[in-house]
């Protein structure tokens, strides 16, 4: 299975450099729907391949507004609050249900406010993805010595689940490619 390791290691190395734009890095200008969709795809495509998962569509955004998960746009324009919510929802919907995401976002926003909650979410996502990247490279996982308060437990668990899901999907993809290659060699 030596062919498997380099593919996982390369993928893992890319993950360790993943960065989510913090609140202060999000656009200050209001955006139209197509611009928001493009921006979220640009932010998340390094970890969620758009060809594999439909990241975000106009229908999804409209449904999130109807469900009260994000505020309604003002004159068909979206601000950084919308972008922050949509980045978080797009990641979290990979591992949680929409009602769970809504309740979690509402709770976290009440505890810390939207800006601090979004920045915390970005940090936890990056840390979880970096741990996953290190595992994919065959590196020993770093021991997490930071205590998790109750207020941040769900964020940490959800982002960890997301990162582990990415690793499982990539490992299975590499295993399938390995078996196909082995089968093709056997047929020759």
pLDDT tens for residues 84-130?
Answer: 999 999 999 999 999 999 999 989 989 999 999 999 999 999 999 99
Confidence grade of residue 3 (pLDDT, cut at 50, 70, 90): low
The total domain count for the chain is: 1
Domain of residue 159 covers 4-187
- Quote the pLDDT of residue 1: 45
Top-ranked range on mean pLDDT: pick from 4-18, 24-38, 101-115: 24-38
Q: Looking at the predicted structure, is the pLDDT value of residue 144 above 80?
A: no
Q: Looking at the predicted structure, is the pLDDT value of residue 22 above 50?
A: yes
- Quote the pLDDT of residue 145: 58
C-alpha to C-alpha distances, 62 to 20, 21, 79, 82, nearest whole angstrom: 23, 23, 15, 12
Q: Looking at the predicted structure, is the pLDDT value of residue 47 above 50?
A: yes
62 compared with 1, residue with greater pLDDT = 62
Q: Which of 22-36, 132-146, 169-183 has the lowest mean pLDDT?
A: 132-146
């Amino acid at each position: 299975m030596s062919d498997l390791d380099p593919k996982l290691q390369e993928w893992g190395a890319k993950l360790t450099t993943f960065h989510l734009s913090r609140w202060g890095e999000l656009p200050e200008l209001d955006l139209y729907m197509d611009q928001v969709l493009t921006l979220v795809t640009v932010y998340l495509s390094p970890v969620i391949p758009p060809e594999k998962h439909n990241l975000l569509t106009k229908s999804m955004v409209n449904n999130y507004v109807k469900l009260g998960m994000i505020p309604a746009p003002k004159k068909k324009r979206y601000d950084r609050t919308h972008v922050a919510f949509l980045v978080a929802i797009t990641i979290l919907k990979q591992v949680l249900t929409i009602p769970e995401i809504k309740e979690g976002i509402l709770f976290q926003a009440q505890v810390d406010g939207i800006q601090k909650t979004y920045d915390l979410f970005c940090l936890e996502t990056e840390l979880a993805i970096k741990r996953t990247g290190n595992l994919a490279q065959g590196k020993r996982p770093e021991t997490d010595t930071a205590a998790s308060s109750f207020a941040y437990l769900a964020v940490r668990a959800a982002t960890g689940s997301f990162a582990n899901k990415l690793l499982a999907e990539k490992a299975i993809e590499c295993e399938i490619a390995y078996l196909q290659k082995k089968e093709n060699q056997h047929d020759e």
